[in-house]
Amino acid sequence: MSLNDQTALRVVLYEGTGAQPLEPQQRYDAMSALLDQGFAVTRAVPDGSLPAADRSSLLVLGRFDGGRPPVAVDAQNEVDIRFEDIDGCGTSRIVEMVENVRAEQKAVKPGDWKPWFPVIDYDRCTNCMQCLSFCLFGVYGVDSGQHIQVQNNDNCKTNCPACSRVCPEAAIMFPKYRSGPINGDVVSDADLQREKMKVDISSLLGGDVYQMLRDRSDKARSRFSKERDADKALTERQKCLVKLAQAGDIPPEVLMSLPSPEEIQRRAQEAKAKAEAAIRNQP
Amino acid sequence: MSDKTRILYCNCTYAQVVPKPVKEAVLRELAQSDIGFEAVADLCEMSARRDPALKRLAEGGAVKIAACFPRAVKWLFSAADAPLPCDSTQVLNMRVQSAQEVLAAALSPGLEPNLPRGKETRPAPSELPAS
């Protein structure tokens, strides 16, 4: 099942009409514990309203009057709504109750996958396809309009920010990265001109990338075939990965998980072909 | 705070990049206030799943989001086909702001939109006017 097909269980702490408010400490403890377990929690207060429905299943928790939780169904039969009374329940009991409902409804189990994947800043992206050409794990692809996009984010290697290093515009973010601009901090001139980044990109692609980008509009259609040599790119890519690993940017386990040289070559050529096709088909 | 401005808190559950004391203090204060709010475990995880809840959150009107860098938050929502409206979204950055700063902004009336509206590059220190 792909990430996108999974439904989530959303929890509502209901303190509106027909329910008693929770004690502040109990509310904080419950919310904190549920968030740590990966659940989304909405606090609904008197005079407030329940949030609009989405694809999530809803579990509404509250200290309901008389200890009797209401029963409700979605008239359009799109959202599964459950009510549970939590009067007298401790935090661990509440978490257990929520987890049981999640399992029963086969909703996504939070925490199974660490959300590490590239996020593209399209204000900066020039659609140069270097990320697509670089990534060996098939994370990137193009949409019907030949625009770069992240298509398989769960293929991304946890804690590896290498593709953000090859982006000449610092347009690729990993929000959980430790430092800027990869973490989403504002990009500075210094980031763009950082010598290390220039060296890395040149090493990776085996050419003067900045000159190549300046000429991009004229040469886009033939750029890859003229300026890139697959064998050289492969060798330089491996050298650069070692260099990046030494600099602390790529975890050893990612390097260890690289496929055989033959497989790397096959994937590199596949990625290159995708990038070439995308450039060729750009309007 | 305007009655219509919502608050969204991100717990950044799957990484340790937001200082724990900051996120705990923000959540504690929000939970002990009398306001309703939404809390999510991890916006990154929701974006990766293209969780439809992001669309609901983005389309619900003015919102203050306690999370991380505005540029990251903007494109996390966008990646889930849930673009945030630039003129009615304020992102409070728990990676760099103190809990007091985040809470003061979250609970204050009014909203100061701060999503980047295009390609923004911070000039080098040498290019800044001398103060």
pLDDT on residue A113: 83
Stretch B108-128: mean pLDDT, rounded?
Answer: 85
Q: Do B69 and A41 touch (CB under 8 A)?
A: no
The answer, yes or no, to whether residue A217 has pLDDT greater than 50, is no
Select the residue of B44, B52, B119 nearest A176 (Cβ to Cβ).
Answer: B44
Domain assignment present for residue A110? The answer is no
Average pLDDT over residues B36-44: 96
DSSP A47-87: T--PPPP-SSEEEEEEEEGGG-------TTS-S-EEEEE-T
Please choose, from the candidates A190, A195, A189, A156, the residue with its C-alpha nearest in 3D space to the C-alpha of residue A174.
Answer: A156
Determine, yes or no, domain membership for A113: no
Mean pLDDT of B3-26: 94
Of the residues A51, A76, A104, the one at which a domain ends? A104
pLDDT digits 0-9 by tens, A249-272:
677 777 767 777 677 777 777 887
Instruction: Report residue B93 as tokens.
Output: 């950055």
Residue A218 clears pLDDT 80, i.e. is over it:
no
pLDDT at A183 over 80: yes
Domain of A38, in residue numbers:
3-104
Per-residue model confidence (pLDDT) at position A282:
75
Claim to verify: residue A135 and residue A37 sit in the same structural domain: no
Considering chain A, what percentage of its residues have pLDDT values greater than 70? Answer: 71
Asked if residues A108 and A57 have their Cβ atoms less than 8 Å apart, the reply is: no
Classify residue A196: in a domain, yes or no.
Answer: yes
Q: What is the pLDDT of residue A165?
A: 85
Tell which residue, B36, B35, B57, has the closest CA to residue B46.
B57
Position A223 pLDDT exceeds 60: no
Provide the mean pLDDT of chain A: 80
Which sequence spans correspond to the domains of chain B? 6-115
Give the pLDDT confidence score for residue A199 in this predicted structure.
42
Q: How confident is the model at residue A201 (pLDDT cuts 50, 70, 90)?
A: very low
Looking at per-residue pLDDT, the higher value among A214 and A20 belongs to A20
A114 assigned to some structural domain = no
Q: Mark yes or no for CB contact B12/A180 under 8 Å.
A: no
User: Looking at the predicted structure, is the pLDDT value of residue A234 above 90?
Assistant: no
As a whole number of angstroms, the distance between CA A6 and CA A158 comes to 21
Say which of A56, A114, A116 has its CB closest to residue B53: A56
Same domain, A127 and A86: no
At residue B1, does pLDDT exceed 60?
no
**Residue A66: CATH number of its domain:** 3.40.50
Could you tell me which residues come within 8 angstroms of residue A212 by beta carbon, excluding any fewer than 6 positions away? Answer: A205, A219, A223, A227
Q: Residue A119 above 50 pLDDT?
A: yes
B2: pLDDT strictly greater than 50: no
Largest CA distance in chain B: 47
Residue B85 has pLDDT above 90, yes or no: yes
Distance from CA of B99 to the nearest CA of A (A): 16
Domain count, chain A: 2
pLDDT at A200 over 60: no
User: Please, which residues have CB within 8 angstroms of residue A27's CB and are 6 or more apart in sequence?
Assistant: A13, A43, B31, B32
Do A147 and A264 lie in one domain? The reply is yes
Chain A residues lying within 8 Å of B35, measured CB to CB: 43, 45
3-state DSSP assignment of residue A141 = strand
- Give the ipTM: 0.93
pLDDT top residue among B1 and A239: A239
